[in-house]
Amino acid sequence: MKKGARSAMKLLFVCLGNICRSPAAEGVFLHLLNQRGLSDRFVVDSAGTGGWHTGNPADRRMQAAAGRRGIQLPSRARQISLDDLSDFDLVLTMDDANLTAVQGLAREAGRRATATVRPMLSYAKRFTETEVPDPYYGGEAGFEHVLDLLEDACSNLLDELSSQA
């Protein structure tokens, strides 16, 4: 991952529609940055591989679940672009389909794609899942489980990135 002398590391969280999982990951990571006093060292955003929800806030059920943990979800949905693969240092995908889609974009971008692309749960330690499940069609417990997964993975991700700086 590239990192300039005093430039902020740029992270992009990616899911399918950018209204549940990736805005939650963005919110969890921002929350951890604020708690640890590291907000000035990172730029954080989220995007979806699809553009159906562009401009919309995070799903109200995800906002409610996050809010119960004191986590705000400030983003508006947007679709990932080829430029994101050169503008960000690290792109974190929520599931295998998103990983495949982002890797396809990276191939399309060619040498311009300088971002490292990794599955979000490659940073999880407390859970064995490899994909963050989409809670959209499920009940409240699904949103809570997604937040549990993301809190674990984001905390470990931040530990790793903080130790590299």
CA 157 – CA 90 distance, rounded (Å): 11
| Known catalytic residue at 21 | yes
Residue 154 falls in the annotated catalytic set: no
What the block records as the tokens of 80 is: 């990932």
Distance CA 30, CA 39 (A): 7
Letter for the amino acid at 146?
V
Asked if 86 and 12 touch (Cβ cutoff 8 Å), the reply is no
Catalytic residue check, 111: no
Q: Which of 15, 45, 89, 95 is catalytic?
A: 15
Kindly provide the b/e burial profile for residues 99-125, where b requires at least 16 CB atoms within 10 angstroms of the residue's own CB: bebbeebbeebeeebebebbbbbebbe
From 89, 95, 134, 154, active-site residue: 134
Cα-trace Rg, the chain: 15
Other beta carbons within 10 Å of 5: 4
**One of 20, 21, 78, 84 is an active-site residue; which one?**
21
Could you list the beta-strand ranges (E) of 35-143: 42-48, 90-93, 116-119
Q: Which active-site residues does the annotation give?
A: 15, 21, 134
